[in-house]
Amino acid sequence: MRWLIVSDLHYALPQFDWLMSAAPQFDLVIFAGDALDAGSIVDYGAQIVVVRKYLERLAATTRAIFCSGNHDLDSRSDSGEKIALWVEEARRLGVACDGDAVEVDDALFSVFPWWDGPQVKEKLVGQLAADAELREGLRWIWAHHAPPRQSPTSWSGKQSFGDADLVDWIGRYRPDFVICGHIHQAPFVAEGSWVDRLGDTWVLNAGRQYGAPPAYIVIDTELQEALWLSAMGGQSVRLDQPLVRPIAPLSALPDWFTPPPFPAF
């Protein structure tokens, strides 16, 4: 299988258009949160209508997974916690989203919400325990917007903004992959990175860049290779070998990979 991983598109419509043109080349697209942009001049309701349509098209093209990020929170629960209520509609459109666990080939994908308070966090912890019962014999992949604390994938250039609880959860459950985002700068700054390994767990954060295409990661599960591509160039790691730093830049793209096209206007 080939996975395409993006995050933090923040209502950048040229990047959504690129995603639509790229999706047919992949067996699975994982969108690790922050489809919306809380700082945009475009009304939140209007953003949701547009993004929902993109997600509907994405789900009609290939398998799609979306976890909410902090910018995606549009409502409050009865207890006052911020939640991404609109994401429930994405599930009805065929996108696996917050709270879902889906089996694809030999892998279990768990999709977790952004938690802003104790009740959503408690539900997330419950999902972890429940999904752990389902993962026997399967690779386990988490979609979780925030990266783990004290990881290069959570380094902003000044400090780590990762999730300390996620570090504990990874240590307890030992998933094969955690697909995240949130810290835009991590792949682009000294001491940051798009990839990390905590024990046996690979952690991936594509980061955010402006313009199209977005920064993105491609994984080929048969060849056991991950590529990160951005305006700064590219890097690759072998997933069947230890992570060795520094990661050398790509001198050429591997033979198996053709960059997705830009959309035709």
- The residue ranges of every structural domain in the chain are 2-238
Specify the pLDDT at position 262.
Answer: 78
Alpha helices (H) along the chain: 13-22, 44-61, 87-92, 118-132, 164-173
- Give the Cα separation of 150 and 152 in Å (integer): 7
**What is residue 145's DSSP assignment?**
S
Specify the pLDDT at position 216.
Answer: 98
Q: Which two tokens stand for residue 148?
A: 């783990």
Nearest to 142 by CA among 163, 113, 121: 113
Contact call for residues 196 and 155 (beta carbons, < 8 A): no
Successive 10-residue mean pLDDT values, the chain, 265 residues: 97 96 96 96 96 96 97 92 92 94 96 94 97 96 97 96 96 98 97 97 97 95 96 95 94 90 68
- Amino acid identity of residue 180, one-letter, is C
- Amino acid identity of residue 196, one-letter, is D
- Give the Cα separation of 210 and 212 in Å (integer): 7
Architecture of the domain spanning 2-238: 4-Layer Sandwich (3.60)
Determine the Cα angle at 172 with ends 187 and 185, to 5°: 10
pTM higher than 0.85: yes
